[in-house]
Structure 1
Amino acid sequence: MHPGGYAELATEIRSLGLLRPQPGFYAALLVVDLAALAAIVAGMVVLRDSWWAVLLAPVLAVVSTQVGFLGHEAGHRQVTRRRGVTLALGLLCGNLLNGMSWSWWIEKHNAHHARPNDLATDPDVHPGALVFDAGQAVGRRGIAGWTTRHQAWLFFPFLTLEAVNLHASSVRALGRPGARHRVLEGALLLAHYVAYGALLVGTLTWPQALVFVAVHQAVFGIYLGCSFAPGHKGMPVLSAEQSEDPLLRQVLTSRNVRGGVLVDYALGGLNYQIEHHLFPSMPRPHLAHAQRVVRRFCEQRGVPYAETSAWSSYAQVLRHLEAVGADLRAKRTTTP
């Protein structure tokens, strides 16, 4: 394996025009997402006070996730380099349409991009309900220890709460001193929750509304988790030398998911995790082209390039979570 060469790869990618923003592509996506949201609202009005309206909850979860993908790509400047337009689009997709603080999430996500799978600096692998390294599992007792021992089985059930966790984290983040755009983001979050509540109260009975919220938020969380988790979970923690090389830092910690146009759309381009991490500002339509260049470059330098099917990626994540809790399970069975 020959480290180095990121600058050479970046020069080739740039010469192919693959880093140019694609506002037209994303404008079309936004129109589709807004039309889908309008259709869901119209459907709930037509099906007023009917349990059939609850069937629109998972559909809304899919649209919510697609809106989230668009906010993610806006944050990486894939849509446009203009800060004002980027901020407006991010606040629309994040705060107003999804009830999540866009600036808080982007700051957290950028920290992840800077050092993926770094146990000290990547917020996505900090220990919480789940832990992603055996060292993080040491000493966990009580409920934390029980969840770590069984976290592979709990992974998907926990994802049903991920959207709720993001909502709560957004509110907490805006309550901290120094939060960016606090007043504006807070007003947009409030507008989201008021509109969401008004839609439910105006079209559903209370039991129906409670079921609708539970289904919407659960499917939303699962979809988000199943889109982001395959990219890095279960990939290695790097040595200090490897982590200083920009090529190795991004390629060795990332995993691509094979698939065609449908997978590209379903995962919002996150199936090209290696290319996305090497070039975060690369628009989604260019990732497939870039993959051929990046894979060839890695093969020439002997750099492992991880790519697998969607099912295999989830299996690898679950096996890793199972392995992380192995020592705790062993101690549990040997303790008298």
Structure 2
Amino acid sequence: MTVQAVTTPAGRRGSDYAELSRLIGRAGLLDRRPAGYLGYAVLAGGLFVAGWVAFFLTGDAWAQLLVAVLLAVASAQVAFLGHDAGHRQMFRRRLPGEVVGLLAGNLAAGLSYGWWVEKHTRHHANPNHEDEDPDVGAGALVWTAEQALATRGFTRWLARRQAYLFFPMLALEGLALHVASVRAVFGRAADGGYRTPMRHRRVEAALLLLHSAGYLGAVLTTLSPLRALAFVAVHQGLWGIYLGCSFAPNHKGMPMQAGDERLDFLRRQVLTSRNVRGGRVVDLALGGLNYQIEHHLFPSMPRGNLRRAQPIVRAYCARHGVPYEQTGLLDSYGQALRHLHAVGAPLRG
């Protein structure tokens, strides 16, 4: 999809989101669902524990690569639990959600909960804004032609081929998340030498160290060096691919904003987001992120209510002339890859 600026239609738009919010509230879709989340926590946590039980029972054997696949799926599902906790979808009070987030993120997945919440909050405030959304800032991948033209050396080589390299590069996403988490908790941010804001830094540091010691200790004491290396590569690589494939369909290839462009809240969230069709299996596999439009409009809405909110939001957007993008999973990847390929086109001329 060609990158294009998004403009606000003429007319009075300030009350559009408030009206939609009232409709959603009257339907009871913002009410917390503790029983549903308890069931999901048991499912995700049980799968995670079962994976490690299988690891210790299997011992030093190449069958551990199959266990690594299971643990990659389990790790992603636990990370989704941390995502929902960060949005306060489970509890109205902050502290219980932070406890779940710290356990799911720092301890189980080795991902800094505080760093992720700060970064993800900025993304939600300005999705697909090339200056303010950290998820579309220039890095290993570039998201605009301007970012592509600014690359040099190896990053320029990557930008030319990024559509072809996208999925292989996702295998390094897990490692990148671990590195960013460690830098955020123990190091200093690049801008001005200030640390990433974090409410429970010491707790996060202790849990990350406990995760690293437990993970590496289990792998290195159970497996021979070659099998240990293969296990970590498969587990961390597939975990990164799974997470990347869950988040990529949501915004990649959708219209971008830049500079001083500002939309009202409804259009800022809907026009830059994409839903992915599918049944309950897709809902579970993507952690509810396939209802990205509804999630961005109502971040604290429990995951189980997103499916029920979708027809209300879609009908409301149709009445107000707001384009509502929904497609299949494979097509969502196709749109993202076409966007990445188009962005790199100026470098291939």
TM-score, normalized by the shorter chain, greater than 0.5: yes
Instruction: Give yes or no for contact 2:110–2:208 (8 Å, CA) kept in 1.
Output: yes
| Identity rate, percent | 54
Q: Which residue of 2 aligns with 1:167?
A: 178
The answer to whether the 8 A contact 1:21-1:282 is kept is yes
Matched, 1:219 2:263: no
Deviates more, 1:201-210 or 1:251-260: 201-210
Cα deviations by residue, 1:241-275 (Å, 9 ceiling, x for unpaired): 87331110000000000000000000000000000
CA drift of 1:239 comes to 7.0
Q: Which amino acid aligns with 1:122?
A: D
Q: Does 1:194 align with 2:213?
A: yes
Distance change >3 Å, CA 239–CA 122, structure 1 → 2: closer
Q: Which residue of 1 aligns with 2:117?
A: 106
Pick one of 293, 296, 318 that aligns with 2:312.
293
1:58 aligns with 2:69: yes
1:178-327 matched pairs, under 5 angstroms: 178=195, 179-180=197-198, 181-238=200-257, 243-327=262-346
Paired position in structure 2 for 1:80: 91
Structural mapping, 1:18-97, within 5 Å = 18-97=29-108
The DSSP-based 3-state class of the residue aligned with 1:150 is: helix
Q: Which moved more, 1:30-39 or 1:122-131?
A: 30-39
Matched, 1:134 2:153: no
How far has the Cα of 1:97 moved from its partner?
Answer: 0.2
Aligned to 1:334: none
Q: Name segments (4+ residues, structure 1) moved above 6 Å.
A: 239-242
| AA aligned opposite 1:219 | L
Question: In structure 2, how many angstroms separate the alpha carbons of the residues matched to 1:190 and 1:28?
Answer: 29
**Unaligned stretches of 5+ residues in structure 1:** 331-336
Deviates more, 1:3-12 or 1:258-267: 3-12
Alignment check: 8 A CA contact 1:112 1:123 kept: yes
> Normalised by the size of structure 1, how large is the TM-score?
0.95
Q: Output the aligned Cα RMSD.
A: 1.4
* Cα distance between partner residues in 1 of 2:262 and 2:154: 34
SS of alignment partner, residue 166 of structure 1: helix
Give the deviation of 1:58 after TM superposition.
1.2
TM-score, with length taken from structure 2:
0.92
Q: Distance in 2 between matches of 1:160 and 1:12?
A: 41
Q: 1:146: how far off?
A: 0.6
Cα deviation 1:208-258 (Å, max 9, x = unaligned): 111000000110000000001110011001477873311100000000000
User: Structure 1 or 2: larger helix share?
Assistant: 1
TM-superposed deviation, 1:144: 1.2
Cα drift, residue 38 of structure 1: 2.0
Query: C-alpha separation between the residues in 2 aligned to 1:324 and 1:166?
Result: 25
Q: Distance between the aligned counterparts of 1:91 and 1:214, measured in 2?
A: 25
8 Å CA contact 1:242–1:249 kept in 2: the answer is no
Unpaired runs of at least 5, structure 2: 1-8, 189-193
**How far is the alpha carbon of 1:53 from its aligned partner?**
1.7
Q: Is the Cα contact below 8 Å between 2:131 and 2:258 reproduced in 1? A: no
Q: CA deviation at 1:39?
A: 1.5
Output the amino acid matched with 2:77. Q
User: Displacement, 1:295?
Assistant: 0.3
Question: 8 Å contact 2:277–2:326 — kept in the other structure?
Answer: yes
Q: How far apart, in 1, do the equivalents of 2:116 and 2:178 lie?
A: 11
Q: Is the 8 A contact 2:52 2:71 kept in 1?
A: no
Which SS does the other structure have where 2:269 is aligned?
helix
Indicate if the aligned counterparts of 1:47 and 1:203 stay in contact, CA closer than 8 A.
no
Separation in 1 of the partners of 2:93 and 2:284? 25
Instruction: Answer whether contact 2:130 2:257 (CA < 8 A) is retained.
Output: no
Q: Find the aligned partners of 2:152 and 2:45 in 1 and give their Cα distance.
A: 46
Report which stretch shifted further, 212-221 or 200-209: 200-209
Counterpart-to-counterpart distance in 1, 2:236 and 2:98 = 25
Distance between the aligned counterparts of 2:157 and 2:256, measured in 1? 24
Structure 1 stretch 310-319 or stretch 14-23: which is displaced more?
14-23
Which SS does the other structure have where 1:243 is aligned?
coil
Matched, 1:16 2:16: no
Is the Cα contact below 8 Å between 2:273 and 2:325 reproduced in 1? Answer: yes
8 Å contact from structure 1 (residues 131, 148) kept in 2: yes
2:63 is paired with a residue of what secondary structure? helix
| Structure-2 residue corresponding to 1:146 | 157
